[in-house]
Structure 1
Amino acid sequence: MTDDDAVETFYTDERWQNWLDRLAEEEIDPENEDSARLLLNLQDDAAIAVVKVLAAFDEDRIDEDRAVEEVRDIRDIVLADVEFDDEDKVMLIDGVQTSLVPVFYAAEEYLVGRVDDGDVSEFVRAAAEAEEGDDLDAALGYVVQAGTRVIDGETLDIELVEDLEYGLVSEWVNGLDSLQSAIEDPEVVEEED
């Protein structure tokens, strides 16, 4: 480790706020491709920040405690309550936040060495069954386990999402898709076109 790790910044309140400001200025229609892309970019940007923390940890630039703290800081920024006059935008941001929940928890689990044996698709199916049985804690746990496998290099088959009933598990798996995309291509999403 070097002294540089003291100044390495992975995500900031300002970065998140820039996305929110941009969202506030735009006419948002989730059916519109540009609007959908803006929301996806916002989600992917947070996932990329998490992946950069994981990479810094894997490359021994930061230790486990610092990495966990960084992931928690990103989580606190992204999951903070958002205030917009437009209720539809609040709901859309809530969807992005919901999708990112398992990304943060999977990253924390990975950092402390809790990567479970198993198959991503099995974990996702178990999560869907748990959601059907109204056991949302178990459902989230299974999605988080799937996320640790994705971080560990296993591929999430996005067709799994298409087979899921719309609900929390499908939103959470959508977040894992952003995580996988960030791992495959950890380039920063531009805040401005």
Structure 2
Amino acid sequence: MSESEETFYTADRWQNWLDRVGEEDLDPENEDSARLLLNLQDDTAIAVAKIVSAYDDDRLSEEEAIDEIADVREIVLAEVEMDSEEKVMLIDGVQTSLVCVFYSAEEYMLSGAVEEGSVAEFVDAAAAAEADDDVDAALGYLVQAGTKIIDGEELPMDAVEDLEYGLVSEWVNGLDSLQSAMADPEVVEEDE
């Protein structure tokens, strides 16, 4: 198996973000704090977008691309240890948002973008599934939406605005980061 020349994401990169979160006096209501968490999430979504692009450009085989996604997921979803329970919860929110991003990228590479339905329809179906306590179905619908976002369909903001806070809204938040990353896969500078 050929070793990819590109490095898409590293444990050090994630740790640098965690260190910044650890050093900051975070207040989720504060714009700078919210931006730091969003940058952390966007940075990971950008890594995923770059892997998908490398796959689409035939620079990575399906197997290599899936392995790269698995590597990033393993780094980002690992349990976080910090002194502050509140910060652990905030990071957990970012991790939760990214779950759908990883699954969407894998599904896209394995099966392509789903042909039926729109992003808005999948978001609505996910919200309905969550209301029925069917979390697995909700995630499945959003993964389908994610494949369409990777393929270029927009996440309609009006479909997002009415979502109740919960797993679906967290996952859709991740898809929003994925959409931005697919449109502009530039690295978020850690010192911004």
Judge same fold: TM > 0.5, yes or no. yes
Is the counterpart of residue 14 in structure 1 residue 12 in structure 2? yes
2:173 maps to which residue?
174
Question: In 2, distance between residues paired with 1:69 and 1:154?
Answer: 25
- Deviation of the 1:22 alpha carbon: 0.5
Letter paired with 2:180: S
1:122 maps to which residue?
121
Deviates more, 1:147-156 or 1:106-115: 106-115
1:51 maps to which residue?
49
Letter paired with 1:39: L
- Deviation of the 1:5 alpha carbon: 5.6
1:78 maps to which residue?
76
SS for the counterpart of 2:176 is: helix
Question: In 2, distance between residues paired with 1:106 and 1:6?
Answer: 22
Letter paired with 1:31: E
2:39 to 38, 41, 62: 41
Question: In 2, distance between residues paired with 1:159 and 1:11?
Answer: 32
TM-score (norm 2): 0.97
Mark the runs of 5 or more structure 2 residues left unpaired by the alignment: none
- Deviation of the 1:160 alpha carbon: 1.9
Deviates more, 1:48-57 or 1:112-121: 112-121
- Deviation of the 1:115 alpha carbon: 2.3
Preserved CA contact (<8 Å) 1:5 1:61: no
Q: CA RMSD in A?
A: 1.3
1:9-46 deviation line (CA, Å, top 9, x unaligned): 00000000000001000000010000000000000000
- Deviation of the 1:4 alpha carbon: 8.8
Preserved CA contact (<8 Å) 1:99 1:175: yes
Cα gap change, 1:37 to 1:4, in 2 (>3 Å): farther
Preserved CA contact (<8 Å) 1:44 1:189: yes
Is the counterpart of residue 110 in structure 1 residue 141 in structure 2? no
Mark the runs of 5 or more structure 1 residues left unpaired by the alignment: none
Deviates more, 1:158-167 or 1:3-12: 3-12
- Deviation of the 1:157 alpha carbon: 1.1
Preserved CA contact (<8 Å) 1:54 1:107: yes
Following superposition of structure 1 onto structure 2, how do residues 138-177 of structure 1 map, counting pairs within 5 Å? Answer: 138-177=137-176
Deviates more, 1:179-188 or 1:151-160: 151-160
1:131 maps to which residue?
130
Question: In 1, distance between residues paired with 2:157 and 2:10?
Answer: 30
1:79-128 deviation line (CA, Å, top 9, x unaligned): 00001110110000000000000000000000112422210000000000
SS for the counterpart of 1:112 is: helix
SS for the counterpart of 1:149 is: helix
The percentage of aligned residue pairs carrying the same residue is 69
Question: In 2, distance between residues paired with 1:6 and 1:150?
Answer: 26
